[in-house]
Amino acid sequence: MYRLISILTLFHLFLLTFLISCNSSDSPPADQRPAPPVTVSTSEIRDLSDAFTVSSEVIAYKRSYVASRISGLIEEVNFEEGQSVRTGDVMAVIDTRQQQTELRRARAALIEATDIYKRTAVLFESDAISRAELLTARRNLEQAESDVERLELTISFGSVKAPINGVVTSRLVEIGNNVGVNERMFTVTDMSLLVVRPGVSELNLTGLREGQEVGVNLDVYPDQPFRGVIRRIFPGMDPISRLFTVEVELVREQGQPVVRPGFLARVRFAADDRRESVSVPSEAVYERNGETFLYVLNDEIDQVSRIPVKVGIQRDGYAEIIEGLEPGVTVAATNLDAISDGSAVRVVGTFRRHGFRN
């Protein structure tokens, strides 16, 4: 029995020795192990703003509807669509011959009322008439003066003048037309200041401010970017759409194509403006023991170095690096659990992000 136990013990020792020798012969030294594969990415300046786009038409900030102030027959029309006008230019003339006839009669009545008042004043000074008669003569004189002023003003309304500098964008009358009081005749548009007034949700309004620059694209010029500036934010909400109007001034620059009112504009707002952010793919950021760092690749020896960084926002698959990294640095973006500071790596490709903003 003792001999059998000795034989089994020797057999187990032999088997254990054999297994240890096999394992030691199959496992290569640490410095001979294959380098873990990684894909890499380059830190770049990206626009990580919280952006949204709203469409609206281009309109002129100043637009005047020119209407008739008297009724009558159109005798002259001096401007048509596309022509420029300046403040005070006579755009049309309405027939005022009847008012001119009434004016001559009113002026004759004024002369008579003036003479009567003068004679009445002399008589009153000599106590020949009562004060009531003097007041009646004065009232008749004032009435005659007001009749003359009213008719002179009415005749001046016969010349329809441009209220602002601009371009005629609509002409609604022709010679021989009969117009009534307050009938629209022209539209004059000041093309020097063009704006877009899209509606913005209250959820996106908090990050916007007056003077903030925005991007503008016009459907008519798909390859031509334009620059806009938030001119003002309307204080009240539209009760129907429940949106706030944000007025964006279209900044005109030399060499840009002509922009006309009515063009459809797409305004790109940045509620959280982070246009110049140093960023890497979010997968490249590694956290351990409360520390956030990146693995930077040394291209000459295919080795990584661990550097601590401060991370800002993460948006659209990218992380903003606030401190610790410059643009143009190559970092490991995958298989980070298999590497450490000073590890040799094998680059197998470039990390690509699909389905997010460029």
pLDDT digits (tens, 9 = 90+) for 146-158: 999 999 999 999 9
Residue 184 lies in a domain: no
Residue 129 lies in a domain: yes
Judgement on whether residues 134 and 283 belong to the same structural domain of the protein: no
Q: Is 179 exposed, middle or buried (0-12, 13-18, 19+ CB in 10 A)?
A: buried
Q: C-alpha angle with apex 68: 66 to 73, nearest 5 degrees? A: 130
* Residue 1 clears pLDDT 50, i.e. is over it: no
Alpha carbon distance 317, 46 (integer Å): 12
Residue 141 lies in a domain: yes
CA atoms within 13 A on the CB side of 174: 0
CB-based burial, 66-101: b 16+ in 10 Å, e otherwise: bebebebebeebebeeeeebeeebebbbbbbeebee
- In a 3-state reduction of DSSP, which class is residue 330? strand
Which of 272, 296, 331 terminates a domain? The answer is 272
Q: Quick one: tokens of 266?
A: 């797409």
**Domain limits at 134?**
97-156
The pLDDT score that the predictor gives to residue 15 is: 54
Residue 199 lies in a domain: yes
Residue 257 lies in a domain: yes
CA 20 and chain centroid, separation: 74
The pLDDT score that the predictor gives to residue 242 is: 93
* Strand pairing report for 90-94 and 221-237: unpaired
- Give the domain CATH number at 234: 2.40.30.170
Residue 162 lies in a domain: no
- Give the domain CATH number at 343: 2.40.420.20
Q: Quick one: tokens of 133?
A: 């008669």
Whole-model pTM over 0.75: no
Could you tell me which residue, 29 or 188, shows the higher pLDDT?
A: 188
Alpha carbon distance 233, 271 (integer Å): 14
Q: Quick one: tokens of 38?
A: 């990684």
Judgement on whether residues 126 and 138 belong to the same structural domain of the protein: yes
Residue 201 lies in a domain: yes
The pLDDT score that the predictor gives to residue 79 is: 96
Which of 246, 272, 298 terminates a domain? The answer is 272
Q: How many domains does the chain have?
A: 3
Alpha carbon distance 201, 242 (integer Å): 7
The pLDDT score that the predictor gives to residue 5 is: 45
Judgement on whether residues 303 and 346 belong to the same structural domain of the protein: yes
Which of 242, 272, 302 terminates a domain? The answer is 272
Q: Is 131 exposed, middle or buried (0-12, 13-18, 19+ CB in 10 A)?
A: exposed
166 neighbors 237 (Cβ within 8 angstroms): no
The pLDDT score that the predictor gives to residue 17 is: 56
CA 81 and chain centroid, separation: 29
